[in-house]
Structure 1
Amino acid sequence: MRLPVVAGIDGSARSMAAADWAAREATLRRAPLRLVHATPPAPGLVMPVTAAEAWQQVGEEVLQHAVADLGERYRDLVVRSEHMSGYPAETLLSAAASAGLLVVGARGTGGFDGLVMGSVALSTAASAACPVVVVPGQAADKGDKEEAPAADGPARVVTGLDAHEPINETADFAFAAARGHDALLRVVHAWALPADSVSPLMLDVTEEDRATWEDQELLLLSDALRAFREKYPEVAVQPDVRLLHPAVALLTASSGADLLVIGRHTESGAPEGRLGPVAHAVLHHARCPVAIVPYAG
């Protein structure tokens, strides 16, 4: 049986946009969709019974509405719901342990105006056992328009790949996503000197030197992609070498994309529950859904 796609919902428009994205993804994967709502512990030691029951009822209504809405629009999709007691981040991390994918909104009902990324999204992206897709707030305003590719071309998936040390898990996820969405895959390899020695955006080099470097790195990138192209022959690949800081390169390349795929190091030496600087920057500034794929090694 295929592992479920799990979506966390709290009743906000942002979480419903994430649940809709998860429903489309589950449909493509032919996997069940599991909607999870967490009711956190009540503040204080004692909560009146009527208030506690009302709090639980709100959660049940959120789930019922989501199941009915998604079931109506995705008739072939198996949708299950689960109302759990606990803090949202901890609850979703527990659910992710038996999921193929976890989908969350960038922000939920908490936070404040101007906040781009909520604590639940950051916590799950940094610690989940399975890949996590964070759907940005802009998706809540797009509605069903996201179901169709952009008018100016096919769907696009973007991923970053270090041609010198390619990460198999991240590349596999990106290629599989491109195949599932019948999308063009743009693979970005970027490099820049430390920001304290040069401009953080672009190196000041001659056009001739830049062209030479790009040719060399493009050959390396082509070599790194060879095995994945053989594994996914149906995926159209666009190699993209950029003399930019990796975060800037990925954000630039993903403008108008349908999905941006990045990796998260999970080795014992890596800080637990923390994202690297590139992932952190991408999550805070990307305007498309971002997939964070854990990898070891």
Structure 2
Amino acid sequence: MNGITARPGLGRVVVGVDGSPSAHTAVMWAAAEAALRGSTLCLVHAAPTDAPVPFLSEAEIVRSRQAGRELLDQAAEAVTARHPDLAVVKELTDGPAPGSLRRAAALTGTIVVGHRGLGGFSSLLLGSVGLEVAAGATTPVVVVRGAEETVEAGTVLAAIRGEADTGCARAAAREALLRKVPLRLLHVWSVPLSVDPRAALRNGCDRIARDHARALSSVSDRIQEEFPNLTLHAEGQKSRSVPGALVDASHHADLLVVGGRRSPGYLGPTLGRITLALLQHAHCPVELIPRQGPGHGSTS
């Protein structure tokens, strides 16, 4: 199996445009991703002009839509300058950004957002739009983190917790094949702060390590069978902090792929603590693959 046969599993790329530096970085990343896939890039700007008449005058609605069209035109020009052969479509919508992005992505697209928008809360590690899109993800979502111009690490990294993350590993394999780089499957399990690692080994924690190794091996063997031409590395690691270890590993990756929790919380769909930490702190773009089937209740 090669990069061409992997492409049917990757739909068009949809990216939000709001005029912020973070969104510009996301647009350019999304353009490069769409070029790799040989798919269409869809630029979406949500101009919330569907409010009741008393709150927005006709002139304000016209100005808002015109500003949105200009932002889309500028983004399209920047993309075309770097990727002249890329098919680009522009969508100006009236509703909230998260819903607009989801509708544009439909059932097979990938949504790309910057890690911070134009909101006034600069201390937030992940903007409200990105957070809402990721929390309610039904299709893959990429939160673009890191500098706009970075040195390629030459690796796609996938965070693997167990067999429930086979779909995540499969998506990461397709991304690695597109980039013609190796895939690193990393399984990290936690060691309680109160436990002395040397004492843990004496007390039989080596058996737990073997159990974790089997879980990782099950996923890696399956992925290698499905993608025989893929260079695959599987690594297990114990750590005091699972998110900390994964954030450190993201220093050396072009893309971090992680499975997302899809269980209902008291405020609706939620993100697990590990996934949220990665979306907030990773040093490279993070692709969130919605989890389906058993295992929704993971805290990851």
TM-score, normalising length from structure 2?
Answer: 0.84
1:199 aligns with 2:190: no
CA-CA distance at 1:17 after TM superposition: 0.6
Quote the residue 1:286 is aligned against: 282
> Amino acid of the residue matched to residue 199 of structure 1?
L
Once the two structures are superposed, the pairs formed by residues 130-209 of structure 1 within 5 Å of their partners are: 130-136=139-145, 138-139=146-147, 142=148, 145-146=149-150, 149-150=152-153, 155-163=154-162, 165-192=163-190, 198-199=192-193, 203-206=195-198, 209=201
Quote the residue 1:27 is aligned against: 35
Question: Could you tell me how far apart the structure 2 residues matched to 1:230 and 1:159 are?
Answer: 17
- Is 81-90 or 205-214 further displaced after alignment? 205-214
Task: Provide the secondary structure at the position in 2 that maps to 1:206.
Answer: helix
Question: Could you tell me how far apart the structure 1 residues matched to 2:197 and 2:266 are?
Answer: 34
Number of equivalenced pairs: 280
1:223 aligns with 2:221: no
Identity over the aligned pairs, expressed in percent?
Answer: 35
1:52 aligns with 2:61: yes
1:258 aligns with 2:254: yes
Quote the residue 1:128 is aligned against: 137
Once the two structures are superposed, the pairs formed by residues 63-74 of structure 1 within 5 Å of their partners are: 63-74=72-83
Task: Provide the secondary structure at the position in 2 that maps to 1:94.
Answer: helix
**Unpaired runs of 5+ in structure 1?**
none
Deviations 1:130-183 (A, max 9, x none): 1000012x43xx3xx34x624xxxx111111124x3422111111111111112
Question: Could you tell me how far apart the structure 2 residues matched to 1:77 and 1:270 are?
Answer: 42
Quote the residue 1:36 is aligned against: 44
Q: Is the 8 A contact 2:12 2:105 kept in 1?
A: no
Q: 1:223 to 1:296 in 2, by over 3 A?
A: closer
CA-CA distance at 1:247 after TM superposition: 1.5
CA-CA distance at 1:262 after TM superposition: 0.7
- Is 180-189 or 77-86 further displaced after alignment? 180-189
Task: Provide the secondary structure at the position in 1 that maps to 2:14.
Answer: strand
Deviations 1:224-260 (A, max 9, x none): 3111102112222222211124322211221231111
Q: Is the 8 A contact 1:37 1:84 kept in 2?
A: yes
- Is 183-192 or 211-220 further displaced after alignment? 211-220
Question: Could you tell me how far apart the structure 1 residues matched to 2:32 and 2:254 are?
Answer: 13
Question: Could you tell me how far apart the structure 2 residues matched to 1:276 and 1:216 are?
Answer: 23
Task: Provide the secondary structure at the position in 1 that maps to 2:54.
Answer: coil
Task: Provide the secondary structure at the position in 1 that maps to 2:190.
Answer: coil
Task: Provide the secondary structure at the position in 2 that maps to 1:40.
Answer: coil
> Amino acid of the residue matched to residue 156 of structure 1?
T
Q: Is the 8 A contact 2:247 2:282 kept in 1?
A: yes
**Aligned partner of 2:269 among 266, 269, 273:** 273
Deviation >4 Å, runs of 4+: 210-216, 267-271
> Amino acid of the residue matched to residue 72 of structure 1?
A
1:13 aligns with 2:9: no
1:115 aligns with 2:124: yes
> Amino acid of the residue matched to residue 274 of structure 2?
V
Deviations 1:16-38 (A, max 9, x none): 11011111111111110000000
Q: Is the 8 A contact 1:121 1:134 kept in 2?
A: yes
Question: Could you tell me how far apart the structure 2 residues matched to 1:112 and 1:271 are?
Answer: 21
Q: Is the 8 A contact 1:37 1:59 kept in 2?
A: yes
Question: Could you tell me how far apart the structure 2 residues matched to 1:275 and 1:223 are?
Answer: 25
**Aligned partner of 1:3 among 11, 29, 36:** 11
Question: Could you tell me how far apart the structure 1 residues matched to 2:126 and 2:264 are?
Answer: 26
Task: Calculate the aligned-residue CA RMSD, in Å.
Answer: 2.5
Task: Provide the secondary structure at the position in 2 that maps to 1:255.
Answer: helix
**Aligned partner of 1:86 among 57, 74, 95:** 95
Quote the residue 2:229 is aligned against: 234
Question: Could you tell me how far apart the structure 1 residues matched to 2:52 and 2:266 are?
Answer: 34
Task: Provide the secondary structure at the position in 1 that maps to 2:252.
Answer: coil
TM-score, normalising length from structure 1?
Answer: 0.85
CA-CA distance at 1:267 after TM superposition: 5.7
